[in-house]
Amino acid sequence: MWQELIETLDKLGEVYDKLATLGERKNSALVAIDMKGLSNILDEEQLLAARIQKLEQKRVGLLHDLSKSDKSVTAATKPKDFYRTAPTPAAQKNLIELHDRLSKSVDRVLTLRNNNRVLAQCALDFVQGQLNRLSGASVEPTYSGKGAGIVTHQKKFDFKA
């Protein structure tokens, strides 16, 4: 079972690395406002997310099964401490290295996701501004009860056309 855990962690690391690469491509697509490219990237992300979900379920199941055999393992046991209970020093070293790699990959994906979220919001704001300009919208000098600006539209553009 330990070998299966090693293989699962390795596959998870590979998938997260692919997800990070997609995140970088997504960043470029958002900057260029390439909607077709962004659509393709989102499709690829969904496939990778499904694969991660399967691998995570397998990883959790393996950890649960392995922890049953060791009475010293509790919910507070840190992953690296648990990996040190592997039967061979080579397996212990491999598990710790894979854990570190996976942690770095997940952190990289999260950083890219947060950066892309900001870029996506900026792109949406740009589109909203362009739509407001086309429709002749103007923002009142006061705010609504919800804290948002009050936008009024002049009838210059028929949105139902």
Q: How would DSSP label each residue in the chain? A: -HHHHHHHHHHHHHHHHHHHHHHHHHHHHHHHT-HHHHHHHHHHHHHHHHHHHHHHHHHHHHHHHHHHT-TT--TT--HHHHHTTSSSHHHHHHHHHHHHHHHHHHHHHHHHHHHHHHHHHHHHHHHHHHHHHHHT-EEEEEE-TTSPEEEE--S-S-TT-
Contact 54, 142 (CB under 8 A): no
CATH of region 2-152, choose from 1.10.3720.10, 3.90.1170.50, 3.40.50.720, 1.20.58.300: 1.20.58.300
Domain ranges of the chain: 2-152
pLDDT for res 110: 94
pLDDT tens digits, one per residue of 14-45: 999 999 999 999 999 888 878 898 899 999 99
| Global confidence as pTM | 0.74
Q: What average pLDDT does the chain have?
A: 82
pLDDT tens digits, one per residue of 49-68: 999 999 999 988 888 887 78
pLDDT for res 108: 95
Beta-sheet pairing, 149-152 with 138-143: antiparallel
Place of tokens 């949105």: 159
Question: Which of 30-44, 120-134, 147-161 comes out lowest in average pLDDT?
Answer: 147-161
